Every structure is written in structure tokens, then in C-alpha cells.
Structure 1
Amino acid sequence: MEERYIPSQVEPKWQEYWKNTQLFKVEEDSSREKYYLLEMFPYPSGKIHMGHVRNYTIGDVVVRYKRMRGFNVIHPMGWDAFGMPAENAAIDNNTHPAAWTYDNIRAMRAQLKKMGFSYDWDREIATCRPEYYRWEQWLFLKMLEKGMAYRKESYVNWCEKCQTVLANEQVEQDKCWRCSQVVQQKKLWQWFFKITDYSEDLLLHCDQLPGWPDNVTTMQKNWIGKSVGAALDFKVEGSDEVINVFTTRPDTIFGATFMCLAPEHPLVETLSRGTDQEAAVNNFVEKVSRQERSAEGIEKYEKEGVFTGTYCINPATGEKIPVYTANFVLMGYGTGAIMSVPSGDQRDFDFARKYGLEIRVVVQPEGEILDGATMTEAYTGRGIMINSGQFNGMDSKEAIEKMADWLEASGIGKRAVSFRLRDWGISRQRYWGTPIPVIHCPSCGVVPVPETDLPIILPEDANLLAKGQSPLPTLDYFARTTCPACGREDAKRDTDTMDTFVESSWYYLRYCSPRYDKGMFDPKAVEYWMPVDQYIGGVEHAVLHLLYSRYFLRVLNTLGLVPFKEPFTRLLTQGMVCKETMTCPEHGYLFPEQGEKQDGNLVCTMCGKDVDVGRVIKMSKSKKNVVNPNELLEKYGADVTRLFCLFAAPPERDLEWSEDGVEGSNRFVNRVWRLALTCMETIQGVDAYKGPADSLKGDQAKELYIKANQTIQKVTADIETNFHFNTAIAAVMELVNAMYTIELEKADDELKSVIWFCLENVLLLLSPIIPHFCEELFAHMGNKGSILEQPWPEFRKDSMQTDEVVVVVQVNGKLRAKFSMGADSNEDDIKAAALGDSRIVKYIEGKEIRKIIVIRKKQTLVNIVV
């Protein structure tokens, strides 16, 4: 054997072995307990980045561990291959999206295989393949048939740069989630999925996902946004039209002196048509369509509005009040109409003052008298009702219920619930996506494509138009078709494609039976494998992919296709990979290799000027603070790369890139390698000791054996309970250090048998983390087959004796956790254990740790200051 670990000799060898033996291939087996682990699949950009490496390494460790624990483990991989990311990249590289996507899939597949990830490649899928999206089209038809999908003309989020509509969830701070262009409002015919049918159920089950991080369920709750109040109808004067309003403050209805509609509200155009205000309203609506339209965005603009030329009737007072359209009203909240009570809402107050509208006080503080004419700001607190008919003198909080009773009894309104969540607009005016399976006939209108005609295949020979515009409407051979209902030959296919998140909303089901051709999935396979036991991916998808996936499973449940509602039992949102930025005064941001040390200074390799090292932030191409995984694989190999990703930080926290950290991981790997070589050269013909510690005669042997059993317990607990691989690795490092203290040449057979036991278990414990390395050494120890086929080591309870101390952990002086540790644990181990404790994580997550104080007495006190 070589004196050092040489990855280029070892890693390809074992990757070929795993492939030839089909070690990672799995089938349903009712006699074994299943375990489904899934990482969010990538879109094929052409290169894996360090975020991929970390994410997939975390998953791979868990998979290998679970296999050794006897589970029947499914671990699939595929490609989120449709959508704007792939199409925009293809345009930027002057190539076709299909060629770009398939070439990138080949490149990324090769990269993932070089990392040694234990995927069952027989289950590989690509969402751009007709055999995949055929079933998506089939489901669309079923949803259309059941009223779960519909088409309407409405104002939608439009990205001019990407030339397409965006769902509300794809607008981040008023900008496109992909290109950061400010989103505009545009009126278009669009297809929608009725996700709002499940608002209450999606919200309710947020509290029934104990395996999910609290921050993710909180984000979903906030996005769904349930509000309790009343629904009211304001009749339009001289018309049959009615303005529907939702309010959380029905107690203030007597103070509603005007009505405000969102500029996108469908009644704005209707009410102003034919009035003297028509032109002014149209100009205002056009102006607002170019502004940012979100709760945060509207605060940037002065509150403005235009009178529509129409009045409506306040149902409580019988008074006619003017109807305005205003830029501070959002169509995405409530009904897009606000009964404006300027005395009780600051925005309404500012608007009323600007346009000279009445301010009528209906709630005033007890013991005070407010006058609408002299008020300087709205009063939003609790108080006594005035100017409110029979409710005068009543406490405003009590009046909410009484008023709701009266509204219902009088037929004016009713108790109601409103949700922020809006139906999911799935139409995209782009080429690279799943064709929507409907036909537009001049005689029949919208006609579903017959199921027998599926899939409607996206023509992959189409040439893209300028600015990314879809060529589908211009392709007569695709767009022109025969109506399946009446036979007319001038019917047109729908040339929009589906949002890419439709594909990723059900892919986890397809993995269960990827070659099944009788439906979306084989029901028996789904019954065995689903739900996903552990899902791993970024928190940025909390109200995109994760919410949509939960919705899709409810649709499938309603259609009787699956017997459950939630797709993912446990969710891990891994932290980001971060690195400091480097900037040159002449060349701006620099890649890591563009800075080098000269005479103790960091200088730019292109101009020699001093480089400024900035703060540590998420790795990104735009800031150039990226590390190429290929360079790491070339220099260190897969296992050292994996080890660093796992040892540098717990999975849920950000990982700060460190060249020294990678070198440290490399040193540890070679330290174990040298130890193994020495043991194999020195210890011959001795079986590993596996009895109780008390039967050992030598103190060294007994102490080392106890240490090994403690390590097995520690590593098992760290992986099983919270995936804290960093502390698990630290525990193995301690055992290796203890083994290095033994003089093998002087060891008797008893001590040698304990050392052999320790070496075997070091390799078994490390095998999920650095698998190629451990396979190689395990084979050289004389073992047959793969180390992955060995059972996970079990510690002996009768060999755990040690003096222990109680560790008390405080966060900012408040007691948060207690646990026991060995009395000989060093301070770093105690800190790591405290930071890794699940009871502590929730109090420190996302916060800056200023210092950690350890005080060692009869009890060990740890105070974490955040």
C-alpha cells in the first residue's frame, strides 16, 4: 500500500465496484423497513457548485448510515430540467435549450458520480422528457375536469426581461426571482390552479409537521395569511354591481366614508367607463402598473388615487360614498377593495386629508373626545364606540362580535375568513416547458386534449426568438390543429407552457416507479416508499416548491390517487456555503485564484494592486467568491472534500469556506491512513476483542476499549438525532488520538486485539463520511465485499464505565438544557456538545454568538452569549 492516501488511485476503483455490483440499486421489499431520503434535485446548469456538494454529502452520509442499520433505502437523483433557468442560460450561450440541458445533464451526472454519492441511477429522471411530463398533462386534464384548474383574464405579475408571467410566490421584494427585474402588472388570459381550495388545510397541517424547522412552517403560515373578520357588500349607486369587501374591523363600518379599489380590480374599468373620470382612471392604472406592487413596495410611493366617477352605498349608514382607485390597495389582500375608515387607519387618514374626504370618528379613547376635522393622525387603539348607532358607548373590542351578529341578522354581511394565499398562476409565455394540453376552438371554446393524444410533445427543433420570446405561437405545425369536439381545422393549441414548479411538485412520487407507463406512478410502489422520510434542501423554497408540493399531494389525495396528504416527514434546510469576497480597485470582484500573496500582502494577479478582503457572504458567481468543486476533487479527492463539508459546521448552519480547514481534513485522513498501515504491519493473526471491558486485564486495553464504545455511542447519537456530523467526526478524532498513544511494538495480544477492534470501528464509523477511503482500508484488513454491507457497530452497555459530569447550558444567562458528558471531555468538546444540543439550537439559530463561557466545577456551566 502507498504511504499516503492517493484519491486518484482509490476513488475511481470503488466507484466502479459500486457500479458493477449495483450496490445502491433497490426494490420494494415488504419484509424490510423502508427509508426514503431525497435531496432537492438540481436544474442542469452544467456544473455542480459547493452548495450542491454540501447538500448531497449530508444526504449521502445519512443514506449510508441507514443502510448499515438495516433499512431498505431509496436514494434517487434526477434533473429539474424545464423552465427559465435552463432557457435563459441557453440563450446566453447561443445554443438551444434542449442541447444545453442534455449536455449539462451528462456533465453534472459525471461530477456527482465522482463524488461517490450512493444514488440508484436506474431511477434517474429528467422533467423535460415526454415520458415524464405526459403525466403532468394528464393530471392537468383531471384537474380541469374537477374544476381545480381554470382560465381567466386578470392582472398578473409580468417580468419584461424574462418575457413571462410570474406566480406571486416568484416575486421577491417586487422583483423577478430569477433576474431581479422589477415586476409590472399586465392583463392577460392565464391558467390557474385553485390552491386556495386548500388554504385552511395547508395552514392547519403546518402545526402537524414536527420534523420541519419552525422557521419554514412559520414562513408558510405567514404566506397563507389567515385573517378573521367579516364580508360586506357595498352596492354601487345606479347599478347592479356590488363591491365585495373583507374587513378585520367590522366595528368601524359606520366610519367608512369612501371606498378604495386596487388599480387591478376588475370593477375599476367597469365603474369608470363612460364617466368624466374614465381617461384619468386609465392613466392612473397605467402609471401604477409600472410601480412595485407588494406590501413592502407600496410603502415607497406617495399615497395617490383617482375618483372613479361612481358612488357606492355604505350598508350600515345608507349614505353614498365615493369610490376611488388607489395605489396603496393590493389585489392580493382580501378582495382588493377597502372600506376606508380614515379615523381608524393611517393610510386612509393620509388619503382623506390629501383629497379632502370626510374623517368620521367611530372609536375614541376612553375619557377623550376626538374630532375628525382636527385630528393629526388616525386612532387605531381600543376605545369607546361613537357615531355608530345602537353601538354607541360600547367597548370597541366587545363591539366586534356584536357588530358581526348585527351584520348577519340584517343581511348586510357575514362572518368570514380571508387568506393572503392566491391561486397559483401556472401559465408561462416561454418555450422550454410542458405544453398545456388544451385546444382553443372558434366554435367550442376551450377543449381539453383527449387523453389518448398525450403527450403533447414540445417541439425540440424550434428556434428561439429575440429576447427569449416563445416560438410556439409562430410554429404552424404545432399551434394549428383540429378541434377534437367539432372537427374544425382552424383550432389552435394553447402555446403557453406550465410553470417549472409544476414539474418539481410531484417528482418525488415518480422516483418510486420511474419507468411505470400506466399512470403518474405505480400505486403499490408509492404505498411502500412514500412519504419521503428525510428531505434536504434550501430554505429559499419555503413558499415555492415546498408549499406547491404539499398542495399537489392534496390534489392527488382528493382525486383518490394517494391515501396521504403530506409529502415530506422530516425536512432539513442546510445552511449556505460562504466565503469572503476579494476586490481589486481596477478589476472589481476577483475569483480566489486571482489573488496571491506577495511579501505578506494579497495582490491581484492581473495588475499587482492590493486586494481588499471583504466580509464572508454566500458564495455566488456575481461576487466571484466561489470555489470550483472540480479543483477540490483534483487536488484532494472526494472524501477529503466530503469530510470538510461535514466537519466545518452542523448541517443547518452556514459553512464558512476555509483552505486551512480543507488541509486539516486532508491531514486527518492521512493520519488515519498511517495508523491503519502501522496496525496492519504490526498486528497479525489477532481477532478483534468484543467482550466486556471488565474482562480485560490491562489498564491501557480497558481504557481504550471503553473509549471506543463511548465513541460508537456518541457517533450513533449524533447522526441519529440531529445529523451533527461535526461532533461525530470530532469523537472519532479523539479515538484516533487515543490509539496513537499506544506503542504497538510493546503491546501484548490483549491490547492488540483491542486496537484491532478500534481500527475496525473507526472505519465503520467513518465509512458514511469518507466511503472510498474506508472501503480501501477495510479490504486491506482482509475483509470481503463492501464495508457498506457491514452492520452499523453497536456499543456494549457493560463497557461504558466512566466518570461523568452534568453540563448545564445557559443562553444569555437563562437555563436551556442539561446533559452528561465524560469528566475527561475537553473544553472544545463541551462547547461543541452545547452548541449541537437540539434544545439549544432553536435559541441560537440565526444569531451571532459573541462568546461562550465554560466554568468547570462539580457541574460544568456553559453560558452562550448571543
Structure 2
Amino acid sequence: MNEFAEKLYKIARKWQERWLRSRIFEADPDESKPKFFITAAFPYPNSPLHLGHSRTYTITDAYARFMRMRGYNVLFPMGFHFTGTPILTMAEAIANGDKDLIDLMINVYDVPPEDIDKLKDPLSLARYFSRDAKQAMIESGYSIDWRREFTTIDEEFKKFIVWQFTRLKEKGLLKKGTHPVGWCPVHNMPVGMHDTKGDVEPEIGEFTLILFELEDGLYLPAATLRPETVFGVTNVWVNPAADYVIVAIDGRRYVVSERAAFKLRFQRDNVVVERKLRGEELLGRRVRNPATGRAVPILPADFVDPNTATGVVMSVPAHAPYDYVALEELKREKLDTLKKLGVDPAELEPIPLIRVKGYGEIPARDIVEKMGIKSQLQRKLLDEATRKLYSDEYHSGIVREDILNYIYPDMPEPYRSFAIAPVKAWIAGRSVPEARDAAARWLAALGYGDRMYEIMNRPVYCRCGNEIVVKVLKDQWFIDYGNPEWKKLAYELLNSMRVVPDEVREEFVKTIEWLHERAAARTRGLGTELPWSKGWIIESLSDSTIYMAFYTVIHKIRRYGLKPEQLTTGFWDYVLLGKGDPDKVSEKTGIGRDVLEDLRREFNYWYPLDSRHSGRDLVPNHLTFFIFNHAAIFPREKWPRQIVVNGFVLLEGKKMSKSLRNIIPLRRALRVYGADTVRATLLAAAELLQDANFSDELARSVMDRLRRFESYAQRAREAGGEETVADRWLRSILQRRVEEVTKAFEELRTRAATVTVLYEMSNDVVKYLEIRGGEPGPALREYIEAWTKMLSPIAPHIAEEVWHEILGKESFVSLEKWPSPDPSRRDLQAELMVAYVDRLVEDVKSILRVYKGEPRRLVVAVASPSSWRIARIVAAHVARRSQLRDAIHAAIEAGAPGKEAARLVRRLYELLQSVDEELLSLIEGVDVFDEKYAIEAMRDYISAKTRIREISVYYVEEAAGRLPESKLNQVTPLRPAILIE
């Protein structure tokens, strides 16, 4: 820790203690103020908070502080999520002596060795890390109302969750059924995102199994996501090195991979393995395509993964890049193998099935050749080609009518016509999506179609270390997110709310669209027991959907000493929904009517939730469940108003992970850099959806800016003297900075706000002091006071320190009124003077770079103020991107002589094409501008920047004989003639 970092750390602790002591962030209803209720996803305390967690909380806190200073009564509460299996699994691993995990705890997570024993019990571990997380949040300066803190295993919260699930059940949104779920085969329970290593949500997909008959009622079930392509199968693939088994399932005998047989046990009853065989034993044998009657060979393919679906794949080389490349390799390099297997290469020619724009007869061949793919080993390219072709065919492909020619060509009439009738009606000539569904139904109706579920983003591992499989869970409780009426409500809520940034809205739309039934409970872990199904614990992504409502009243539930058994469904109905007779609720619960009404008023004041903050990884689950459950439980006027989503945090450009051992606990970072540095670095590193790269270099740059801010505040105490152009300029620039930062915070562009406050405003003071020759003037203190307020949401501790100890204020800057831009204090003349002189200085420096000798004198000839009106006209036309002729016409209409106007306007038009919008705006906004006065007023500044002591300035009319005629002829407004002697 360097000296200033140590100072920042001490300052932070000082102000954190004062805030807590003064209880300034404890928010109670206040009808005289507009309210703002803001929350962030509560942490899961199975390890310390690290820099990745801190980004969400820092953005939330900065926004909360900004809104508080804007005059809102802000409530920012926090709780801790104990529910689920991660805590349980981690405690079990530590208790079992997992050396890697214990080493991680001690050497990466900074857990003292003597505390390891405390982590062997799940509840002790959760409490240990929740205390640590709370301390990290306090040390980060988060403006949290800690009176409302709770955990999801508190008895009061459990009663709240029982009420929520009871209401979902009554609405028919919680139901018993049979559905596929992610499943831990060891602990025998459903698993979701928070139950897996890396917090990965198991994505369940459904494969169509097409039954290719081998012999005597033995089938090879080829797993596919594209059953409409069955008409173009040339062969079936198996992995010759893999282990396969013959299994009896539902009266049929299948040949599948050994791993598939294991997984099918979780999806079917009575799966019986008859015997094992190697894939190579199947090669060369023929199977019958049930869609065409054609006998096709079984061929070897190393790309077939026996761990995916059945381990049997049908080959459609016209439309599958992998199949096309594999067959071309066989025909090119392994003709002997084909001959040995009794396969004629001619029977492996691609069979075209789908017409798609941009491709020829054989789409797979086209894309493979275009991408230069030659081998099955080019997996990345083949994956890319597959994604591209499948997408193109899905969105614009049409199934060819001539597929009818491939179907049982030797079958006599009228039987053939009867067999192909469904294909002719539902598949041929249809779009790929239509044909896909129809083909699956047709094959099933014929008895040659089946299905199997698979984890599509496999492998996904349970926190216990075992790979997740799909289980078809029977007669269990599910939340019915597939309910179409509920989806409509979810869309309505989404459409009514602000999503920041708005580009994430489409992710919510897609999630709502594909979301289906979700298992509601687990058999392991901490949490609330499903009240009507003992032994089942409501899972962690189901009890964390509307808990924001619980924040509004928990502190008063405790203050009034209410017991958990008093918190009945009738109690919650009245407090949160206003349903029921308060006298009857009071009689049944033993809670006074006045208490019930006070709790109801508290809830009504704070709800709806104004802003919900979380990481982007929670869009496909928690945040969408948050939308669904609010739509189901609460009336429209209580629906949440805003969701804010942010990206992840990188450390020195790399993803933080346990394997890289580069996870930085938040409290360690706070000790190394100071809280304000960590906060400002996270805010400055990226805008919301971008991944923020926390680097030592950026942190030290931020720390240096905080140090400069403090030093400039010290200089403000010396401020005095006469007002100059510099003071006019600084006050004017301040109005711009206030407007910029305010707008950035309103739009949650925290990087823009932070960069402006830390860097641009620092640069403003540097320029101001340069213009004033290093002596602070009367405008500096005013600037520093506003700057301190604008820094407060970003780096609140040093802002408080400067506000009190340097500026001598009595109030907390955290509670000060946010500055407002004052248009009357904008001084466009002063801003233009400084901008003009800076351009002049750069022009002089360019000349000096090639100037030979020691410059003694600078002579400048400028345009007369009378020509300024032409400059304004041209600037307006350039800003609007008008044509040159329009600008000339406007100048003539304004009274400029035609010949002079054309020449002058052309030069100005060319000149102003290269200036930025800000300068164009200044030129338009200043009625009269005297370039000579600007140079004379800032003579000392020009001299200091160019190191030329003597400066003479003339209007062009006065400069005859002082500068060459050729130079004087080129003078226009904003382009003086320059001579260095």
C-alpha cells in the first residue's frame, strides 16, 4: 500500500463510522419527498465478496447516492441468500479435508487458517461469509439501510415465501407434473444455476430419436435436432472406439452408447442392459431408413461423441458440414475401408433436400468449400459452418418437393401413395420449421420416432463434482413459466418498464419466450420447506424473485416483536396486497390493527421497486423470474419500474477464476488501493454491458486523480484576486460538466460520468490555473464545491473529507443537493476565447517545430469583428451539413457583397469542416467575437505555452507592412495570419 492509498483507507474508515453513527442512510417514509427504492441481487455467502461482485454493488450504490442527492428519499437495503446447495457442498468438502479448497480459502480468499474449522458446518460457513460480505460492503462505503438486513433462512422470511408459493399454487401457476429437469445423479435432486460449478444453468434440449432398424427388432436410435433431413440419410455413424450396449426400453431393443444407457435410466422406466459391444462391431452392417425404406451402411466417425445423446448419428451430407467432410475424407483417403465394409462410394453421394437462398444444390458442400475446410479435425471451423448453415436453412429454407421420389420407391401402388400422403401434405414444399415438427410427428405416428433429453451446454457439473444429467421428474412440483397467460403478463410488465441498457430487452423477450416449467424444490440445502410436500426445499432461484417486498417491512416486524407464527398468509395478503379485513386479520394473528396498518403504509410508500440491479448472467433466470413473479403476485401499479444490467469484471485482462487463482477478495483490494480507488476504477473501466478490466495501472491512475482532486481543493482555500477570463471560463465550463455528469448518471453511463468527474474536471482546473498563471482566482472554490458533490457518488469518502476538512462545511456532502446547471452562467464568449487561443497556440507550436533560430516575437493579424456574422452563418450551415452554395446564399442575404461572400464563405466552409460540434456550437452562439481582444486578454497564457515573450496582434486592416501581403490575403475569421520573428 502506498502512502496515499493508506490515507484513502483511513479516510474511508473514518467516514464509514460517522455515517453509521449518524444513521444517515436509514430511510423511512417521508411524504414530503419522492421516494426511490433500489436493490441489487443479494450475495450468496459461500465465499468472500470479490471484485466481480463489487461492480454490481458499486454501480447500484453510485446510482443510489446520485438519486439521494437529487432530492429523492432513497432506500437501498441488503440481505443474504443462504438457500440452496452451494453452501452445503462447500462445507462438506471442507469437512472432508479437500486440500485444494482449503488452500484456496487460505491463500486466495484470505481466510485465516484458524478459522477453517468454522467453515465445516454449512450454517456456520454461511454466517461467516455473510458477516465478511457485510463488512466488505461497509468498507466499500455502500449507502445501505442495514436495519432491513435478513437471510433467506430467517423464520420470518420463510413465512413470506410460504405465502408467495401458496398464492402461486392458488393461481394455478404451481403444479404437479412430469417434466425434464437438470439432475444430480448422486444426490438425486433437481439442480439449477446456483447448484452447479461456475453457476451454469443447465440448458435442456430435446433430441428426436429416429429408429433405424438393424435386424430382428433391434434399432439404432439416431439422435437429431433436424428430423426433416431424414430423407437425405446416406449412412449412420458410430464411434468405433466407443462402448455401446443393447438395452431394452419400453418393449424395444436399442443399440446406444454406454453413457446414453446410463442417462436414459433417468428418463425412462425399466431400462435393462442386455450386453455390451464395441462400436467397431457395428461397422459395415446395414440399417433401414424408416422414412425412405433405403438400407444404409453403418460407418466409423471419430467425431461422434458417445457422451452426447445416444452416440448414434445419422449422416446427411447435403446439409450437415460434418457429414459432408467426413464422407469426403473416407472417399478420398480410406477407399480400402469402404471396400472392406462392402460400401460403394456412389451410394454416399449427397441427397439434396432443402432449397435455401445463397446456396446451390448441396449447401453443405458450398459452405465447406467457401470456408476451406478439408478435415474433420477442423472442429472450430466445422462448428461455425454448421451454425451458419443450420441458421440459414431454418430461417429461409424450403423443403424440396422431389423428396417424395426418395420414399419407398419400390413400394407398389396404391400403398406408396398412401404412405407418402402425409409427407406430401405436411413436409414437402414447407418451410424448415414447419417440416421439422411435421417430420417428428410423422415418424412417431409410424412407430419409428422417439425422444431423449440432453444437457445442451454439457458438461455441467453439480457442486459435488458429478456431471448433471436430465431426469424426467414425475409427480413433482413445478413453477409453470410456460403458462401462456402468465407469459402475456410478463411481456406486459417488461414493456412497461425501463431496461438499462435497452439492448438487453431482447434477451428478456427471448427468455420469456422459451421459458418453460421449472422444478420448484430440492431435497438438499438450506431454505424454506415446500409447505405441502415435506422434505422438499424451495430452490434458490425460486425463493429470490419478489423478496424486495420483504425489505419494506422486516425492520418493523422485528421492532414490533412479531413472531413467525403470526405471519400468516392472511397477514401478508393484507400488508402486501391490501386484501382482507384488518380487524379479522388482527383477531386471527393477534397483531394490533394499528401495527397492520403501519406495515401496510410502509409497504405502500416504498413499492413498487424503482430500480433492480444485477449481472447479465442473471437475465436468463433470476431477473426474468423476478418479472414473472411480480406480474403474478402484485397488481400493475406495484410492478417494478426498471432493471439495470451490467457485465463482468476482468483482472488484468483475464477472467477471474478459481483455476487461475486470480480472484481478488474485495476487502483485500480495499486495503491495497482504498475504497474510493476501487469504486472509481470499477466505474471508470467500462460502460454497463462491457466487461470492466480492473488493472493496477488504471487503479493507480484513478488514485492519482483522487490525489490531484484533494490538492486542487487545498488550492481553493488560497483563491482570491480579481476575476479574469479564466474565472468566466471555469464557471461556464462547470455548467457544462454538471449537465454532462447529470445526464450520464441518469442514463446509467457510469464510465462517462466517472471519466468526466475524475479526468475532464481535473483537466479543467489545470487549464484554469495555466490561464491564470498558477494563481487560483475567485471561481475555483465554486468549482471545487460543485466538483466535490459530483464526486460524492463515485468516491464518497474523499468527497466527505474535502467537504468537511478543507471546505469547512458542516453537513454531509452525501446528503447535499446535487448541483444544477445554470444556463445564465454559461459564458460562451469566454469559452470561445479559450478555444480560439488554444487553436492559435497549436498553430504557433506547429510553426516552431520547423522554425530555425530562437523566436523573439510573435506577430498575429486577425479578422475584423465585423466579419464575424459570416462565420456564424457558415458554422450554422456546416453544423446542419448544408451545401456550400446554401451557405453562400445565406451570407449574401445577410448583406455580404456577393464576390467577397463567395470567397470568404468558401474558406470558412473548408476551415469549419474540420472542427468539432462543440466549437461549432460556440461559434453559432456568440453574437460578436473580437479575436484581437481574446489574444490580448490571454497574452500571458500564450506566452507561457509558446515561450515567446513579445506578442503583437493587429486587425488585418492594420497589419499592412507588418506581415507579407500573401499571408494577409488568407486571413478569415478563426484563421489569423501568423509571423514569428
Please, what TM-score do these two structures have when normalized by structure 2?
A: 0.51
Alignment partner of 1:728 out of 752, 756, 772: 756
The residue that corresponds to 2:647 in the other structure is: 574
Partner Cα distance (1:622, 1:407) in 2 = 43
- Higher mean C-alpha deviation, range 84-93 or range 27-36: 27-36
Q: How many aligned residue pairs are there?
A: 639
Closer, same or farther: CA 107–631 of 1 in aligned 2, 3 Å? closer
Contact 1:43 1:80 in 2 (8 A): yes
> What amino acid maps onto 1:106 in structure 2?
R
Secondary structure in 1 matching 2:21? helix
Closer, same or farther: CA 568–322 of 1 in aligned 2, 3 Å? farther
Partner Cα distance (1:57, 1:84) in 2 = 27
Q: Which structure 2 residues correspond to residues 440-589 of structure 1 after superposition, within 5 A?
A: 494-514=534-554, 517-518=567-568, 522-523=576-577, 529=606, 532-542=609-619, 546-551=620-625, 553-555=627-629, 557-558=631-632, 560-563=633-636, 569-579=642-652
Q: Structure 1 residue 124: deviation in Å?
A: 1.7
Q: Structure 1 residue 768: deviation in Å?
A: 1.2
The residue that corresponds to 2:430 in the other structure is: 400
The CA deviation string for residues 304-351 of structure 1, in whole angstroms up to 9 with x for no partner, is 9999x9x9996x879999999x99799999x99999878765778989
Contact 2:304 2:312 in 1 (8 A): no
The residue that corresponds to 2:86 in the other structure is: 85
Contact 1:575 1:651 in 2 (8 A): no
Closer, same or farther: CA 819–139 of 1 in aligned 2, 3 Å? farther
Partner Cα distance (2:304, 2:664) in 1 = 44
Partner Cα distance (1:305, 1:566) in 2 = 62
Q: Structure 1 residue 646: deviation in Å?
A: 3.0
> What amino acid maps onto 1:400 in structure 2?
R
Q: Which structure 2 residues correspond to residues 304-703 of structure 1 after superposition, within 5 A?
A: 363=352, 385-386=402-403, 387=405, 399-400=429-430, 494-514=534-554, 517-518=567-568, 522-523=576-577, 529=606, 532-542=609-619, 546-551=620-625, 553-555=627-629, 557-558=631-632, 560-563=633-636, 569-579=642-652, 616-634=653-671, 636-680=673-717, 698-703=724-729
Q: Does 1:821 align with 2:918?
A: yes
> What amino acid maps onto 2:624 in structure 1?
R
Secondary structure in 1 matching 2:39? strand
The residue that corresponds to 1:40 in the other structure is: 41
Secondary structure in 2 matching 1:73? strand
Alignment partner of 2:745 out of 699, 719, 727: 719
Partner Cα distance (2:236, 2:769) in 1 = 80
Higher helix share: 2
Partner Cα distance (1:512, 1:356) in 2 = 73
Q: Structure 1 residue 769: deviation in Å?
A: 1.5
Higher strand share: 1
> What amino acid maps onto 2:134 in structure 1?
R
Closer, same or farther: CA 356–342 of 1 in aligned 2, 3 Å? farther
Secondary structure in 1 matching 2:918? strand
> What amino acid maps onto 2:618 in structure 1?
H
> What amino acid maps onto 1:83 in structure 2?
G
Contact 1:226 1:420 in 2 (8 A): yes
Contact 1:4 1:670 in 2 (8 A): no
Partner Cα distance (1:37, 1:419) in 2 = 44
Q: Structure 1 residue 118: deviation in Å?
A: 0.4
Alignment partner of 1:767 out of 782, 789, 792: 792
The residue that corresponds to 2:884 in the other structure is: none
The CA deviation string for residues 160-187 of structure 1, in whole angstroms up to 9 with x for no partner, is 5xx465647679xxxx53499xxxxxxx
Contact 2:176 2:476 in 1 (8 A): no
Closer, same or farther: CA 69–120 of 1 in aligned 2, 3 Å? same
Closer, same or farther: CA 59–226 of 1 in aligned 2, 3 Å? farther
The CA deviation string for residues 215-267 of structure 1, in whole angstroms up to 9 with x for no partner, is xxxxx9x979999xx999999x999xxx99998675x6766899999x9xxx9
The residue that corresponds to 1:461 in the other structure is: none
Q: Structure 1 residue 117: deviation in Å?
A: 0.7
> What amino acid maps onto 2:703 in structure 1?
N
Partner Cα distance (2:453, 2:774) in 1 = 73
Partner Cα distance (2:762, 2:298) in 1 = 73
Q: Structure 1 residue 60: deviation in Å?
A: 1.4
Q: Structure 1 residue 400: deviation in Å?
A: 1.0
Closer, same or farther: CA 158–70 of 1 in aligned 2, 3 Å? same
Please, what TM-score do these two structures have when normalized by structure 1?
A: 0.56
Greater Rg over alpha carbons, structure: 2
The residue that corresponds to 2:249 in the other structure is: 270
Partner Cα distance (1:233, 1:563) in 2 = 50
Secondary structure in 2 matching 1:65? helix
Contact 1:256 1:339 in 2 (8 A): yes
The CA deviation string for residues 754-783 of structure 1, in whole angstroms up to 9 with x for no partner, is 222112111111111121222233234343
The residue that corresponds to 2:867 in the other structure is: none
Q: Structure 1 residue 38: deviation in Å?
A: 2.9
Q: Does 1:779 align with 2:804?
A: yes
> What amino acid maps onto 1:563 in structure 2?
R
The CA deviation string for residues 202-222 of structure 1, in whole angstroms up to 9 with x for no partner, is xxxxxxxxxxxxxxxxxx9x9
Q: Structure 1 residue 67: deviation in Å?
A: 1.3
Q: Supply the RMSD in Å over aligned alpha carbons.
A: 6.6
Secondary structure in 2 matching 1:82? coil
Alignment partner of 1:106 out of 115, 131, 135: 131
> What amino acid maps onto 1:732 in structure 2?
M
Secondary structure in 1 matching 2:660? coil
Closer, same or farther: CA 399–657 of 1 in aligned 2, 3 Å? closer
Q: Does 1:177 align with 2:197?
A: yes
- Higher mean C-alpha deviation, range 778-787 or range 118-127: 778-787
Closer, same or farther: CA 799–63 of 1 in aligned 2, 3 Å? same
Q: Structure 1 residue 630: deviation in Å?
A: 3.5
Partner Cα distance (1:541, 1:535) in 2 = 12
> What amino acid maps onto 2:783 in structure 1?
C
The residue that corresponds to 1:26 in the other structure is: 27
Q: Does 1:150 align with 2:176?
A: yes
Partner Cα distance (2:717, 2:668) in 1 = 33
Secondary structure in 1 matching 2:786? helix
Contact 1:257 1:321 in 2 (8 A): yes
Contact 1:429 1:497 in 2 (8 A): no
Partner Cα distance (1:473, 1:547) in 2 = 21
The CA deviation string for residues 347-401 of structure 1, in whole angstroms up to 9 with x for no partner, is 789899999899898746999999xxxxx99999875614168899999997116
Identity of aligned residues (%): 20
What residue ranges of structure 2 are gaps of 5+ in the alignment? 95-115, 267-277, 331-337, 363-373, 377-385, 408-416, 446-450, 465-474, 479-520, 558-566, 579-601, 836-874, 881-914, 923-972, 975-981
Alignment partner of 1:707 out of 708, 733, 737: 733
Q: Structure 1 residue 89: deviation in Å?
A: 3.0
Partner Cα distance (2:436, 2:696) in 1 = 70
The residue that corresponds to 1:54 in the other structure is: 55
Closer, same or farther: CA 75–20 of 1 in aligned 2, 3 Å? same
Partner Cα distance (1:698, 1:527) in 2 = 54
> What amino acid maps onto 1:784 in structure 2?
E
Contact 1:14 1:775 in 2 (8 A): yes
Closer, same or farther: CA 821–303 of 1 in aligned 2, 3 Å? farther
Closer, same or farther: CA 288–745 of 1 in aligned 2, 3 Å? closer
Secondary structure in 1 matching 2:820? coil
